[in-house]
Amino acid sequence: MPLSATDTIPQEPGALRRLARMLWADKFALAAALFVLLVVVLAVVGPMWLEGAATRQNLRGRNLPPFSLAQGWLGVLGADALGRPLLARIIVATRNTITIAAGAVLFSAVIGTMLGLVAGYMGRAAGQVILRLADVIMSFPSLLLAVIVLYILGPSVANLIVVLAITRIPVYLRTTRAEVMEVRERMFVQAARVMGASRWRIIFRHILPVVLPTLLTVATLDFAFVMLAESALSFLGIGIQPPEITWGLMVAQGRQYLQTAWWLSVWPGLAIILTTLSLNLLSGWLRIALDPTQRWRLEMKGRRNG
């Protein structure tokens, strides 16, 4: 059994280089990291770069099949029902999609985790109140929440983030609480308590790091869930509507063409799948890379490969 004693070897390279080497060791994670990087770059530059091409309609080129360069490289994924190149549209839609998904996941994860830590570690009364609150949110249909918020405040990206974030809070809350309840009984937490560490110090320095990997897994999966939930809301006529675009909206709009022009919904769907897959592979890798007791798996491989 290899020891984590490697940490103490004097010539150990810098943390960043070590991470890079561990990433190199896992080719799947490397590919995933590159894809996520691409998505982020496209989210930043996409709208400025291709806004024009993505909205220019061409009724003669409607539902143009993919894999043809007749319409230039942007037409390689085919065109939608209004003859707009799908590749350009997917790229332009990246920003809205990622903003909504990341915003919703971030807010729900942070709020949910905080509440979960409190519910799991603090007294029973606080825990009960928070959990029953989670029950209420879980039983409140997300569609109704969306209808209420968007009817009263009007549809916008920010309002949509609020709606999706609220509906996802219970997932993090309950997962965190479940983990905390297990972790707080462990030896090292008990030890810290005996040594007089403050409550918050125990929560943030001792419990949170142990809980974090599971939350990371849940969060990356939630990314896909949020993108698809946004798609479902668009489909029902609530949420983001044209001419704004998101991947979810493109998937929803392509639905009626699924049997005649599959590419309308398959490419944006694939973008969702690939993003989720990459984030998940990356979180899986990160989980191992950050865990002193697991790290050897990557370091061994890196050494063997390099």
Return the closest-CA partner of residue 217 out of 273, 286, 164.
286
59 to 98: interface string for other proteins, x by CB under 8 A: x--x------------------xx----------------
Least separation in angstroms between residue 95's CB and other proteins is: 19
Query: Are residues 134 and 116 in contact, defined by beta-carbon separation less than 8 angstroms?
Result: no
Closest CB to other proteins among residues 11, 259: 259
Q: Does 218 engage in binding with other proteins (CB under 8 A)?
A: yes
Least separation in angstroms between residue 60's CB and other proteins is: 8
User: In angstroms, rounded to a whole number, what is the distance separating the alpha carbons of residues 298 and 73?
Assistant: 39
User: In angstroms, rounded to a whole number, what is the distance separating the alpha carbons of residues 158 and 103?
Assistant: 9
Query: Are residues 100 and 93 in contact, defined by beta-carbon separation less than 8 angstroms?
Result: no
Closest CB to other proteins among residues 14, 154: 154
* 3-state SS, one letter per residue, for the chain: CCCHHHHHCCCCCCHHHHHHHHHHHCHHHHHHHHHHHHHHHHHHHHHHHHHHHHHCCCHHHCCCCCCCCCCCHHHHHCECCCCCEHHHHHHHHHHHHHHHHHHHHHHHHHHHHHHHHHHHHCCHHHHHHHHHHHHHHHHCCHHHHHHHHHHHHCCCHHHHHHHHHHHHHHHHHHHHHHHHHHHCCCHHHHHHHHCCCCHHHHHHHHHHHHHHHHHHHHHHHHHHHHHHHHHHHHHCCCCCCCCCCCHHHHHHHHHHHCCCCCHHHHHHHHHHHHHHHHHHHHHHHHHHHCCCCCCHHHHHHHHHHC
Total of chain residues touching other proteins, rule CB under 8 A: 74
Footprint of other proteins on 11-30 (CB under 8 A)? 28
Footprint of other proteins on 161-190 (CB under 8 A)? 170-171, 174-175, 178-179, 181-182, 185
Closest CB to other proteins among residues 18, 297: 297
Reported residue count of the chain is: 306
Least separation in angstroms between residue 25's CB and other proteins is: 10
Closest CB to other proteins among residues 10, 71: 71
Q: Does 159 engage in binding with other proteins (CB under 8 A)?
A: no
Q: Does 243 engage in binding with other proteins (CB under 8 A)?
A: yes
Closest CB to other proteins among residues 32, 87: 32
Footprint of other proteins on 258-297 (CB under 8 A)? 258-261, 265-266, 269, 272-273, 276-277, 280-281, 284, 287-288, 291, 293-294, 297
Q: Does 152 engage in binding with other proteins (CB under 8 A)?
A: yes
Q: Does 5 engage in binding with other proteins (CB under 8 A)?
A: no
Amino acid identity, residue 5?
A
Q: Does 153 engage in binding with other proteins (CB under 8 A)?
A: no
Q: Does 2 engage in binding with other proteins (CB under 8 A)?
A: no
Closest CB to other proteins among residues 87, 278: 278
Stretch that binds other proteins, among 87-95, 158-166, 194-202, 248-256 (CB under 8 A): 248-256
Q: Does 114 engage in binding with other proteins (CB under 8 A)?
A: no
Least separation in angstroms between residue 253's CB and other proteins is: 6
Least separation in angstroms between residue 234's CB and other proteins is: 9
Closest CB to other proteins among residues 44, 136: 136
